[in-house]
Amino acid sequence: MKVLAFNGSPRKNWNTATLLKHALEGAASQGAETELIHLYDLSYKGCISCFACKLKDGKSYGSCAVKDDLKPIFQKIEEADAIIVGSPIYFGMTTGETRSFLERLMFQYLVYDADYSTLFPRKLHTGFIYTMNVSQDIVEKIGYDQNLKGTEMAMARNFGASESLFVTDTYQFDDYSKYDTSGFDAQEKAKRHKEVFPEDCKKAFEMGAKFAEKSRIEE
């Protein structure tokens, strides 16, 4: 049983990465083997629309033909029981690296039939952890949750299931006085990080544990 986490943040030790580490700790608590992969360490681009993965009787039918750092990653995913993708939200969407990764991951399995069925060989538990500087009220007002819904639905269609965890009003700097951040109350940010972020970490832990437990039962 293996659970993979993908960090779509350029920072390896901040909010998104911390939450993913807790998710993997949760999976490990249920006996899962875990691995955290930092997308910013890899060299790749988004889908190039070569359609080799759709070519009938083609040697790359059902798999991405592009040979770059994602090739071995996709092999790991095909051998995993669950994946969790974490990303900060920039201008209402996941980071560019995260989006490119998801394009490449999903499109290779998508079939252009009436049902948009999948070539992925089995069910895979998938989850998203989103981190963002804005409050939950703004998430709902601007519609960030709706912006991300389409990707979640596509993941569910390809792999069988998907769920998400929204972590809002995050703490971005150790020292807010060094940056032009007059729109934020640094003390309130620090207070929330101390009191609320640990609860978010618990939720991430629970997500990882649940995925691993379900995978163990299904084995």
pLDDT of residue 219: 62
Residues of the chain above pLDDT 70, percent: 98
Alpha carbon distance 36, 73 (integer Å): 11
pLDDT of residue 57: 87
**Do 185 and 192 contact (CB within 8 A), yes or no?**
no
Alpha carbon distance 14, 67 (integer Å): 30
Which tokens hold the place of 106? 């999903």
Summarised one tens digit per residue, pLDDT across range 63-79 is 999 999 999 999 999 99
Summarised one tens digit per residue, pLDDT across range 150-176 is 889 899 989 988 899 999 989 888 888
Q: How many CB atoms lie within 10 A of CB 3?
A: 28
**Do 207 and 26 contact (CB within 8 A), yes or no?**
yes
Pairing of strands 93-94, 82-90: antiparallel
Summarised one tens digit per residue, pLDDT across range 103-133 is 999 999 999 888 888 999 889 999 999 998 8
The lowest-confidence range among 32-36, 59-63, 99-103, 139-143 is: 139-143
pTM exceeds 0.75: yes
pLDDT interval class at 189 (50, 70, 90): confident
Kindly state the average pLDDT of the residues 205-210: 94
- Give DSSP secondary structure letters for 10-54: S-SSSHHHHHHHHHHHHHHHTT-EEEEEEGGGS---S-----GGG
Domains recognised in the chain with CATH numbers: 2-218 (3.40.50.360)
Which tokens hold the place of 126? 């998938």
